[in-house]
Amino acid sequence: MKITFMGAGSTVFARNVIGDCMCSEALRDSVFALYDIDGDRLEESRVILEAMRKAKGGYGKIECYLGAEQRKEALRGATFVINAIQVGLYDPCTIIDFEVPKKYGLRQTIGDTLGIGGIMRALRTIPVMKDFANDMEEVCPDAIFLNYTNPMAMLSGYMQRYTAIETVGLCHSVQVCSRVLLDSLDMSDKLDGRKELIAGINHMAWLLEIKDKNGVDLYPEIRKRALAKAVDPDYWDNVRLDYIRNFGYYCTESSEHNAEYNNFYIKSQYPELIERYNIPLDEYPRRCENQIAAWKEEYQQLLKEGVKDHERSHEYASYIMESIVTDTPYKIGGNVLNKGGLISNLPREACVEVPCLVDGRGVTPCYVGNLPVQCAAMNMTNINVQLLTIEAAHTLKKEHIYQAAMLDPHTSSELDIDTIKAMVDDLIVAHGDYLPKYH
């Protein structure tokens, strides 16, 4: 069996996912094909993973493929393809995503999922993923594409609608959602045996139901404690607690993410909200710089001291592959096309995050039904942007980029239409060859 990792220069993530595969008897004898366009980063990953493979008993084989000219061979015959690319990297593209909007008075926290940063990130990534899909349709048409790259709903949605490749988007925010909530509200004693239902869209899926091991609804106590906790400006998760207060439900992704998915919290005319909700502006660039520095230091340490044993992480990928190969049922929260109306009050062409059963037949999404109307309405403000961005990538019409930005909740709450268009034009110029030509 062959497992191909696209963007294997993301060494820390490749180490976790491929390392997880090496912990599975069903997967450890695979050929692990590492693909990247950066030779230095690819070599770092090879060194770490080869050492890990030997430490794990020497099972399997690692192959490296560098550059677009070797991409098709990296994919040839693959059973699973894992996607973790970042087109344009932190420097220059993420810097552009933050610095150009800042000139127009538009501030962001993460900028990788929605907002103008998420839009531009999708527009430079979709053409690359389209090339992946074209190659896969030729050399591994039955492979399952496991996408970890953000913006999750835009990229997975494009693949699901406009390519023939079976695609599921994966994000660990579903896995940690209720644990984080219960831990933060001093309700950790309710973790064991809890039952929950989470559905919506990536990074804004809703914890719709949560019951303890005896079937007791935990939401009344959660809402009570959330109201008491939300008055503390130093608390780190105030935006999501505010969601509970105003919309009745907690959502999957962190407050620094959700602060920019709406028109409520980052407002230049209300600067006091930044402190009140503890919103970390420019958080993603800080993280990137810290992670780059930390990895350089860690890599040198690994070269000196050797690779430590890897313990299997909670990331979905290896468990999905193992489940399919062994025909053992496993449940995930997956990002899939809303085909058949899995969430019946969201559009069929939207990419939604719902419970999915995994077994030998692959990934089978589960029907959820209607979301609470206010939760569906919040999701729609994001879905509008996602669908227009996908349309822009598919048609190469600049007007759809404008429209995506105009309908983005945060962007439109800060800037007028003419300013939004001017900002989009500046971003297109600044990204240069990282974007295709729009008309």
Catalytically annotated residues: 172
Q: How many CA atoms lie within 13 A of 385 on its CB side?
A: 29
Q: Calculate the alpha carbon distances from 10 to 84, 129, 221, 289 in Å.
A: 7, 16, 41, 14
Phi-psi region of 57 (alpha: psi -120 to 50; beta: other; left: phi over 0): left
Instruction: Kindly state the helix (H) or strand (E) to which residue 407 belongs, with its residue range.
Output: helix 398-407
Distance between CA 63 and CA 35 in Å, rounded?
9
Neighbouring CB atoms inside 10 A of 156's CB total: 31
The type of residue at 4 is T
- Coil, strand or helix at 359: strand
Q: Are 406 and 384 in contact (CB under 8 A)?
A: no
Q: CA 423, CA 429: separation in Å to the nearest integer? A: 10
H helix runs in 140-193, sequence order: 152-162, 173-184
Q: How far apart are CA 334 and CA 351, in angstroms?
A: 10
Nearest to 206 by CA among 230, 191, 222: 222
Say if residues 255 and 235 touch (Cβ distance below 8 Å). Answer: no
Burial 306-333 (b: 16+ CB within 10 A, else e): ebeebeebebbbbbbbbbbbeeeebebb
Phi, psi of 123 (to 5 degrees): -65, -30
Query: Position of tokens 């993410």?
Result: 257
Q: Which residues lie below 8 Å from residue 33, measured CB to CB, with a gap of 6+? A: 2, 3, 4, 5, 63, 64, 65, 74, 75, 78
Cα-Cα-Cα-Cα dihedral sign, residues 353, 26, 13, 81: negative
